[in-house]
């Protein structure tokens, strides 16, 4: 082990200010199972009475879940979670839409099993989503040459392209202008301060106080067999909790944090055949960020602003088999660049060495890398093969059960560069199998189950060579 690795290991062990995020496993499970909000759209005659022109809907759900999450040493942590939500949607003339959803969630851990030391917790904030949307015309009118203008303002889900650079809940505005198949979209949004997990886990309050701003634009061509798009997204670091001190014996490592990035992306999606589709996106990341306070020999050093130049690719295909079970097979490949002088693929402390270009890719997207290991995509080639099917089609009791399975292979691009979980200088990280089902027992009751098992490869440290597992089961009642 080189001196830099010894220094960072000692400093992390000696400094309580650095909380290696045990919450990450739970957060990744939530991202895999998060709900997608979609407002219904319809047309109404312009001379209808207000009661006929307006729509008001409300509802809610309550769910109970049980998690069993293995840590790096394959020790199981048990979490019971109660999740209650209430929502309301209003629509006027099919053009003005309002939506709000509140979330009340309580985490109940077995004694000593929580990752952040806070024990049982009522999670905040309560406001999960809230937004207003205006749409001047329907999509058919825009495709026929008419102008279409739309805007959505509030706390909502933002995604750029296929979600490589950005796919997250933010507070801001999204506006679109469309005509004749061309659509220009712009966004301006900030992170919800206490409802966003930062990618840099070495920064103080990375999981409770994150302030980043996103401004971007996307141009997309619709109406043909292939939908191409291009985008640019600027991320500005506005965190005010951006300094701390790590200590190892007599060695002190004052550390400041700043990471400003720009993402330049292009991609496309479309059908291959009437039963299959594909998507692909390539992003280049540029910008400037502060280097690590640790020198190449492990001693404290002066941080400098260095350039960022990383890249990422995500693509996949999906086939609908059109059988009685409505089966669907899909495959995906995710590849992202590495920086071999980093000790961690995302953190500033133990990050890019002063005087060098940071070639690691760090984005704010949501890319499926499984449940059990759930790594960030940096310095990985991740291959996924998935299957969805209804195995009991024709059975009146079980025909609403939808089974899912996914198999993953993880391989490091550069064996000398890190990923965001500890590894050694080998290339093969391991394989993972995820299984599960969703069963609508009744129209208003759903049972869910997920199991993930990661089998370590040669790149995992010897002390972490055990199978890492995660288990989730839940029941939800919606009304």
Q: Mean pLDDT, to the nearest integer, of 62-88?
A: 88
d(CA 126, CA 102): 5
Place of tokens 């089966």: 327
Helix (H) or strand (E) holding 176: strand 167-179
Domain ranges of the chain: 3-478
Sign of CA dihedral 404, 66, 30, 26: negative
Looking at the domain covering 3-478, what would its CATH class be?
mainly beta
What span, in angstroms and rounded, lies between the C-alpha atoms of 22 and 116?
Answer: 6
What are residue 401's DSSP bridge partners? Answer: 439
* pLDDT the model gives residue 325: 92
Mean pLDDT of 286-309: 94
Mean pLDDT, the chain, integer: 86
Using pLDDT thresholds of 50, 70 and 90, give the confidence band for residue 363.
very high
Split at pLDDT 50, 70, 90, the class of 28 is very low
Cβ proximity of 120 and 108 under 8 Å:
yes
Give the range among 73-77, 343-347, 389-393 with minimum mean pLDDT: 73-77
> How does residue 144 score in pLDDT terms, banded at 50, 70 and 90?
low
Q: Which of 387, 327, 453 is nearest to 70 (CA)?
A: 453
Q: Which has more pLDDT, 23 or 348?
A: 348
Between 36-45, 184-193, 292-301, 389-398, the lowest mean confidence (pLDDT) is in 36-45
CA distance 248 to 362: 28
Q: How far apart are CA 466 and CA 8, in angstroms?
A: 25
Q: What is the DSSP letter of 462?
A: G
Q: In angstroms, rounded to a whole number, what is the distance separating the alpha carbons of residues 67 and 471? A: 5
Confidence of residue 129 (pLDDT cuts 50, 70, 90): very high
Q: Which of 345, 255, 299 shows the shortest CA–CA distance to 18?
A: 255
pLDDT surpassing 60 at residue 31: no
Distance CA 204, CA 229 (A): 37
Who's near 35: CB < 8 A, 6+ residues apart?
none
Overall average pLDDT of the 332-353 stretch: 94
175-228: pLDDT as tens digits: 999 998 899 999 999 999 888 989 998 999 988 899 999 999 999 998 888 999
Q: What is the DSSP string of 45-88?
A: -TTS-HHHHEEEEEEEEEEEEEEEEE-TT--EEEEEEEEEEEEE
**d(Cα 314, Cα 283) in Å, to the nearest integer?**
9
How many other CB atoms are found less than 10 A from the CB of residue 117? 9
Report pLDDT digits (tens) over 226-244. Answer: 999 999 999 999 999 889 9
| Residue-by-residue DSSP string for 210-255 | --EEEEEEEEEE-SSSSEEEEEEEEEEE--S--EEEEEETTEEEEE
96-109 vs 54-70, strand pairing mode = unpaired
List, in order, residues 6 or more apart from 122 with CB less than 8 Å away: 104, 105, 106, 107
Are 366 and 197 within 8 A, CB to CB?
no
Q: Which helix (H) or strand (E) holds 6?
A: helix 3-14
Task: Considering only residues 444 and 20, tell me which one the structure prediction assigns the higher pLDDT.
Answer: 444
Asked whether the predicted pLDDT for residue 17 surpasses 80, the reply is no
pTM of full prediction above 0.85: yes
* pLDDT tens digit sequence for 393-441: 988 889 999 999 999 999 999 999 999 889 999 999 999 999 999 999 9
pLDDT at 149 over 50: yes
Which among 87, 85, 81 has a CA at the least distance from the CA of 27?
81
- φ, ψ for residue 464 (rounded to 5)? -120, 35
CA dihedral 73, 76, 82, 86 (to 10 degrees): 40
Residue 349 is given by DSSP the state T
* Structure confidence at residue 18 (pLDDT): 36
**Per-residue model confidence (pLDDT) at position 53:** 56
Beta bridge partners of 299: none
Helix (H, G, I), strand (E, B) or coil at 379: coil
Quick one: which H or E segment has residue 402? strand 401-412
């Amino acid at each position: 082990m080189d001196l830099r690795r010894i220094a960072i290991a000692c400093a992390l062990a000696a400094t309580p200010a650095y909380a290696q995020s045990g919450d990450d496993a739970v957060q990744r499970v939530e991202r895999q199972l998060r709900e997608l909000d979609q407002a219904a759209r319809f047309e109404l005659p312009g001379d209808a009475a207000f009661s006929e022109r307006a729509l008001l809907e409300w509802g809610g759900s309550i769910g109970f879940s049980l998690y069993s999450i293995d840590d790096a040493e394959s020790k199981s942590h048990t979490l019971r979670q109660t999740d209650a939500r209430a929502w309301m949607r209003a629509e006027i003339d099919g053009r003005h839409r309002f939506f709000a959803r509140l979330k009340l969630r309580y985490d109940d851990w077995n004694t000593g099993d929580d990752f952040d030391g806070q024990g049982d917790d009522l999670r905040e904030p309560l406001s999960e989503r809230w937004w207003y949307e205006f749409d001047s015309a329907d999509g058919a009118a825009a495709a026929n040459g008419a102008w279409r203008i739309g805007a959505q303002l509030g706390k909502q889900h933002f995604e750029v392209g296929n979600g490589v650079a950005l796919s997250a809940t933010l507070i801001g505005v999204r506006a679109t202008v469309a005509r004749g198949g061309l659509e220009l979209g712009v966004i301006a949004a900030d992170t919800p301060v206490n409802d966003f997990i930062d990618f840099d886990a070495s920064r103080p309050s990375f999981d409770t106080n994150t302030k980043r701003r996103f401004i971007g634009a996307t141009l997309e061509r619709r109406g043909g067999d292939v939908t191409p798009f291009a985008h640019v997204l600027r991320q500005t670091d506005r965190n005010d909790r951006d300094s701390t001190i790590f200590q190892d014996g007599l060695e002190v490592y004052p550390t400041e944090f700043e990471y400003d990035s720009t993402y330049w992306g292009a991609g496309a999606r479309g059908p291959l055949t009437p039963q299959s589709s594909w998507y692909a996106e390539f992003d280049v990341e540029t910008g400037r960020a502060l280097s690590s306070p640790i020198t190449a020999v492990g001693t404290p050093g002066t941080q400098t602003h260095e350039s960022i130049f990383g890249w990422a690719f995500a693509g996949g295909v999906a086939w609908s088999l059109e059988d009685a079970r409505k089966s669907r097979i899909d495959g995906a490949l995710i590849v992202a660049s590495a920086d071999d002088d980093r000790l961690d693929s995302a953190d500033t402390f133990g990050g890019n060495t002063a005087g060098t270009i940071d070639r690691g890719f760090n984005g704010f997207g949501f890319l499926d890398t499984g449940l059990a290991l759930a790594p960030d995509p940096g310095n990985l080639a991740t291959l996924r093969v998935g299957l969805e099917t209804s195995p009991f089609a024709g059975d009146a009791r079980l025909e609403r059960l939808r089974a899912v399975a996914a198999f993953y292979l993880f391989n490091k691009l550069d064996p000398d560069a890190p990923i965001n979980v500890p590894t050694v200088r080998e290339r093969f990280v391991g394989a993972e199998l995820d299984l599960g089902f969703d069963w609508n027992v009744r129209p208003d009751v759903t049972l869910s189950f997920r199991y993930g098992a990661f089998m370590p490869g040669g790149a995992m440290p010897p002390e972490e060579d055990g199978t890492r597992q995660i288990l989730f089961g839940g029941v939800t009642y919606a009304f």
